[in-house]
Amino acid sequence: MSVFYFVAFLSIFFALMTIFTKNPVHSVLYLVITFFTFTVHYILLNAQFLAVVNFIVYMGAIMVLFLFVLMLLNLNKDTEPLKSNLVKFMGVIAGMCLLVTLAASFRLLQISDPVVLKNPDIGLVSNLGKVLFSDFLLPFEISSILLLTAMVGAVLLAKNDPKKV
Amino acid sequence: MIDLIWLIPLLPLVGFLLNGLGRNVLSKPLVGLLGSGVVLASFLLSCGVFAEVYTARQAGEPAVFIQSVFEWIAAGSLEVSLSFLVDPLSAIMLLIVTGIGFLIHVYSIGYMKHDAGFAKFFAFLNLFVFFMLVLVLGSNYAVMFIGWEGVGLCSYLLIGFWFKNKEFASAGKKAFVMNRIGDLSFLIAVFLIFNTFGTLEFTGVFPQAAGMAMGDTTLLLVTLLLFVAATGKSAQIPLFTWLPDAMAGPTPVSALIHAATMVTAGIYMIARSNILFTLSPVTLQIVAAIGICTALLAAAIAITQNDIKKVLAYSTVSQLGYMFLGLGVGAFTGAFFHVITHAFFKALLFLGAGSVIHAMGDEQDMRHMGGLKKHLPITYVTMLVATIAIAGIPPLSGFFSKDEILAHAFSANKLLWVLGFVGALFTAFYMFRLLSLTFFGKFRGTTEQADHLHESPASMTVPLIILAVLSAVGGLLNVPSALGGGQALANFLSPVFADSAAVTGPFHLDHSTEYVLMAVSAVGAIVMAVVAYRQYAVKGTVPKADDAPRGVLAKLSYHKFYVDELYDTLVVRPLNALSVFFYRIVDRAGIDGLVNGLGKRVGESAQGIRLLQNGNVGSYIFMMVIAAVLILAFGVFNG
Amino acid sequence: MSAIITLSLLAILVLYLGLFKARRALLPVSLLGLVATVVLYGVQWGKTAEPLYSGMVLFDHFAVVFSVVCVILTILVLLLSKDYFDKSSPHVAEYYALLLFSLTGAVLVVSFHNLAMLFIGIEIMSVALYILAGIRKKDFASNEAALKYFLMGAYSTGFLLFGIALLYGASGSFDLAAIKEYVVSNPQGISPLFYAGILLLIVSLAFKLGAAPFHFWTPDVYDGSPILITIFMATVVKTAAIAGFLRLFYFCFIPLQDFWVPVLLVMTIITLFVGNLTAIVQQSVKRMLAYSSISHAGYLLFAIVAIGATSANSVLFYVTAYSLSTIIGFGSLILVKRATGSEHFEAFNGLAKKNPYLSLAIAIAMLSLAGIPLTAGFVGKFMMFSGVLADYQVLLVVLAVINAAMGIFYYFRVIVAMYFKPLDRDAIVVSGPYRVVFFLAALITLLLGVYPAWLTGLI
């Protein structure tokens, strides 16, 4: 349990750092660390597949891509848009309110049963594969349409229109 | 014949479609023929239907026929069928709508001859007749509402018919808005009725209602809402100002819609729902009070108006007030009787005024008329008949119907009778003022107009003559027993009002009292008629110019008691202010924020926070979060 | 199921057609495919429906009818698209494909039987639209609409996922039947997580529907997107959103009515007032229609507030009436904007003189949106109102009727402009497909208004 609380504290801490850092590159790096703590969570929950995917895809691929883009754009502290303190203040308050009401509506403050996994092996790669290809076959297949849509869209938006003659 | 009820509204609809679609193809005579032909056919069918109802009544049956065309809306417990109900009440209404409708169609052939939108006009007129028939024939509140809304729409279209003039269009808008308020209240009433009785069919609602207690609050609410609806359609305080403005439309429209048929829809509806009203005495008192106030106010305004159609418009409002007074004091037959006679003489007056306007080359100001008697003999004689009838001078029709209402008012509350009597005096005065200013004295128009003066063509005068005959003898329909009459109409209608009669008990007034009342009102009307005649015909007084100084009362009356201005300050301006508020605060033209904002004006966006819909994603999300917080918080406290 | 496969394959086929530059074939092929889909659904009609693929989708009457409505609306939209896309970009095939993908998503949303499918359906539907909203790359408004829609859509997806996760946490399943079982069998011991999950789902679905207070994106996105895409969003997406909303709540949450109805009740009232009051003051017809679509979302929510056996029919009727009129409204706006370059009310001035039939169609559409009797819109409103009344929400009906009256003012501004504001103008050329669409939509609007029984007994 204490491991969980420690890692949970780390995730929140680094998530906050991601937001509060002025330098975009640092911000991304903090995000990477946050994701790393998530990976630890997954392992604690015995969700090995998720842990690996999170580690490789999110931290390895996407975040590195982000970093490259940021460096190529040459963003730094000065280009960050200025927000008045009032806006920040409002944002913080709104966020806190959401957090508090959410927590309250779960009744988290009253009870906290220890998490018991019904099937501790559900997160293993082979089990996950079986579920994906049996029960959740349809959503799994249909997700391909989602990906295709996103791909078509990305190409469409990124591609330059040929100059009109 | 009863099986053919569905044809009665269908025929005008066919006329509308043919005239509407073929308006560029059909020749004018054909359009006129088609337009009036379908209404004539409906009229003949109505006569047949009426004959059957009449025979059934003679045989002592209640004579209620229902024809269901098809199931209209069926969803769960809600079942509304498109079905028609013929009973004595609707049978008479049918005759009025199709009969007078036909005459006015014929009249329009002559009146609108030179208008470019001839076919369009007839199409709209046919459509109006269709909706009016649906309103009259509907066997439940939903079908009645279709007609109710439809006639409003047509009236809007027909008022705005000459839309090149901006004033006309705005008059249409006013009629529309005021009618909307009424329709709104009708719709709420419909839902309340459904909620209370579980059905909208008249035959289902009324028996249930008859079993309810006197003064039931639901009934009170329903009847109040229905009454508000009626004030909108029938131009009563506070929603009466649209009717005089509606005179901007072509004169046949004024005659058909704003005198004979549509404006009486409110009275028809209340008469139809009489049992609901009888069981909520508070509403009836309000109806009577509003009715008498409207009658007096409108009559007081009519006295000083100079536009011939405006006088008639206020007179219509005033007469409608009498009808509501009648309803309010429980004289349902009397009120409906007045609907009938009023339809005759008011349609005649409008058509006569149209004939005058036609002859004067679209001049409507009575100060420029005078001495038209010899140029327009038929118009003069027919209008004289109508004037005597509306003034309540025996033995023409208006006397009988008004007398019946006043007699009931007398037995209900003496004050109502006194006020009603004063209104009748006003009526006699302003009507003879109109007649004198128009037909007597010297001609006051331009020489050009004088050369142009001519009697209208036969298509216009024949309807006038027919209506004049009806106005003269219409009173015989319901001669009171005090005068040895058989009260034919009352007997004919008795099953419709049977439930109410059972609640209130028979109406009784001493014959001697009734003689006195009749004599007083007849003598009063004749005296006022003579006064007006001496003032305007013999002495030849001409009303003052618009800006001439007037006494306080005259000024108030001339400016229509400043009701329009009052509404403007109390309602229109605050509403405008509210709209502007919404426009400024809630919707500050959204597209200007994010992309161009970030791209071009990074610094500017920090200058301040614009509220709500200012195109900024950040603030949208902020609002969403707040909303989500509220919803979740609700869950916390509720769950 | 075959319909979903057909749709997906059709979209891919269209992409290939684009690859081989068969531009002329695009529209006919898409239309044929859609018609085939309708036919496939028709064949399915009447058979007893079983949840397919381990309870992922269920093609019951509800799903079939709403899918067919979505497909037919898409057919109408595609008919309007002739000559529309060619002006903005050469990638027409991709646009068609994206529209079809989005339609696939919509069909999934109306036929899901598992929350995973709901999520995927909503995402497919939305992602395609995020892109379509921004296809005018040179147009700031279009870019902005796309970006806004995307950012806010992503945000609402967060709520959706969180809500689904909470429901799963409480009930242990994504399957609607299992969730219902959980609700029914634990009348007292329902976890607080479950309640919070319902609220979060309300938030996200209300967002997709464009109901206040989650409507903020609607006017900007509708206004900024190309009109044709706006039509798609305002009709197909709205249909799918309300149908999905209703399906979820009707299947699972009826026993907990007392908990969530008050929330929706308040939202409905706010939606009505925000939509109508703001629509009144608009100067642009497009923006007016955008706000009016918010108010119609409010009327649609009535069915969920008064949830019951008749809700599906009311929604079906209302959404059909609303969509047909909206297609005419926005479709005519395309023509008017092409002719005058303006979207303001003034652009409609004097239209009746030169284009009497077009004006008539627009007038019918506006009357139907306003809910005037003898049009489909009236029957729709009537059914909605009476459904709510049966639930004894008299106050709501009174407020709604007041709102309906407000609505009439801004819809009539269009009619007034067309008929009562004279202006010399050139006649607008109405091409063949547009005529067909307007004629069909206006005709169906009137037919349904006079004889609604054709549609009311379907589900």
Copy the structure tokens of residue B299.
């009559």
The residue among B16, B572, B249 whose CA lies nearest residue C409 is B572
In this predicted structure, what is the pLDDT of residue B217?
85
**B121: CB partners within 8 A, 6+ apart:** B108, B112, B115, B158, B161, B250
How close B268 comes to chain A (CA, Å)? 57
Mean pLDDT of the region A90-104: 81
Among B149-153, B338-342, C279-283, top mean pLDDT goes to B338-342
The pLDDT mean for chain B works out to: 83
Query: Is residue B565 in a domain?
Result: no
**C276: CB partners within 8 A, 6+ apart:** C291, C292, C295, C403, C406, C407, C410
Q: Which residue of A has its CA nearest to B638?
A: A105
3-state helix, strand, coil in chain A (%, to 5): 75, 0, 25
Domain A2-77+86-121 falls under CATH 1.20.120.1200: yes
Residue with tokens 């009930």: C171
In this predicted structure, what is the pLDDT of residue B42?
93
The H-or-E segment that residue C357 falls in is helix C356-370
Strands B78-86 and C51-52: unpaired
In this predicted structure, what is the pLDDT of residue B597?
37
In this predicted structure, what is the pLDDT of residue B589?
41
Provide the 3-class DSSP secondary structure of residue B239: coil
pLDDT top residue among B145 and A73: B145
Confidence of residue C45 (pLDDT cuts 50, 70, 90): confident
Query: Is residue B601 in a domain?
Result: yes
pLDDT digits (tens, 9 = 90+) for C139-184: 778 888 888 899 889 989 999 999 999 999 888 889 999 999 999 9
Residues B376 and B356 sit within 8 Å (Cβ to Cβ): yes
pLDDT top residue among C274 and B385: B385
| Residues linked to residue B66 through DSSP beta bridges, in sequence order | B85
Copy the structure tokens of residue C443.
């005709």
Confidence of residue B477 (pLDDT cuts 50, 70, 90): confident
pLDDT digits (tens, 9 = 90+) for C95-128: 899 999 999 999 999 999 999 999 999 999 999 9
Provide the 3-class DSSP secondary structure of residue B59: coil
Q: Which residue of B has its CA nearest to A91?
A: B622
- Number of structural domains, chain B? 3
Q: Which of A101-105, B330-334, B367-371, C219-223 has the lowest mean pLDDT?
A: A101-105
How close B186 comes to chain A (CA, Å)? 44
In this predicted structure, what is the pLDDT of residue B573?
76
Q: For residue B191, give the nearest of C200, C202, C389 by CB distance.
A: C389
Provide the 3-class DSSP secondary structure of residue C73: helix
Residue with tokens 């202006």: C423
pLDDT top residue among C1 and B412: B412
Picking from B511, B538, B565, the residue at the C-terminal end of a domain is B538
Instruction: Using the predicted structure, report yes or no on whether residue B557 has a pLDDT greater than 90.
Output: no
Instruction: Using the predicted structure, report yes or no on whether residue C417 has a pLDDT greater than 50.
Output: yes
Where are chain A's structural domains? 2-77+86-121, 124-159
CA distances from B58 to B52, B62, C160 (A): 10, 10, 72
In this predicted structure, what is the pLDDT of residue C455?
82
Provide the 3-class DSSP secondary structure of residue C52: strand
Instruction: Using the predicted structure, report yes or no on whether residue C420 has a pLDDT greater than 60.
Output: yes
Rg, C-alpha atoms of chain B: 27
In this predicted structure, what is the pLDDT of residue B608?
32
CA distances from B182 to B149, B177, B186, B187 (A): 10, 9, 6, 9
Say whether both B64 and B193 belong to one domain.
Answer: no
Residues of C in contact with B624 (CB under 8 A): 152, 155-156, 203, 207, 213-214, 216
Q: For residue A104, give the nearest of B603, B609, B636 by CB distance.
A: B636
Say whether both B240 and B389 belong to one domain.
Answer: yes
Residues B248 and B165 sit within 8 Å (Cβ to Cβ): yes
In this predicted structure, what is the pLDDT of residue C138?
77
3-state helix, strand, coil in chain C (%, to 5): 80, 0, 20
The pLDDT mean for chain A works out to: 80
In this predicted structure, what is the pLDDT of residue B593?
37
**B315: CB partners within 8 A, 6+ apart:** B298, B299, B302, B346, B349, B390, B427, B430, B431
Would you tell me which residues 560-599 of chain B have a C-beta closer than 8 angstroms to some C-beta of chain A? 598
In this predicted structure, what is the pLDDT of residue C364?
93
pLDDT top residue among B390 and B244: B390
Full domain range(s) for residue B269: 140-538
CA C375 vs. chain centroid, Å, equals: 19
CA C274 vs. chain centroid, Å, equals: 19
Q: Which of A86, A92, A98 to mutate to test the interface with B (most CBs of B within 10 A)?
A: A98
How close C15 comes to chain A (CA, Å)? 9
| Residues linked to residue B365 through DSSP beta bridges, in sequence order | B307
Residues B184 and C405 sit within 8 Å (Cβ to Cβ): yes
Q: Which of C5, C54, C173 to mutate to test the interface with A (most CBs of A within 10 A)?
A: C54
Report the distance separating Cα A42 and Cα A40, nearest Å. Answer: 5
- Under an 8 A CB cutoff, do B184 and C383 touch? no
Query: Is residue B547 in a domain?
Result: no
The pLDDT mean for chain C works out to: 88
Residues C305 and C55 sit within 8 Å (Cβ to Cβ): no
Confidence of residue B592 (pLDDT cuts 50, 70, 90): very low
| Residues linked to residue B70 through DSSP beta bridges, in sequence order | B82
Report the distance separating Cα B98 and Cα B100, nearest Å. Answer: 6
Tell if the pTM clears 0.90, that is, is over it.
no
pLDDT digits (tens, 9 = 90+) for B52-108: 999 998 888 888 888 888 888 776 667 788 889 998 999 999 999 999 999 999 988
User: Dihedral of CA B593/B597/B598/B604: which sign?
Assistant: negative
Other beta carbons less than 10 A from residue B592's beta carbon: 17
Mean pLDDT of the region C23-41: 90
**Amino acid making up residue B272:** R
Report the distance separating Cα C64 and Cα C61, nearest Å. Answer: 5
Report the distance separating Cα C307 and Cα C257, nearest Å. Answer: 8
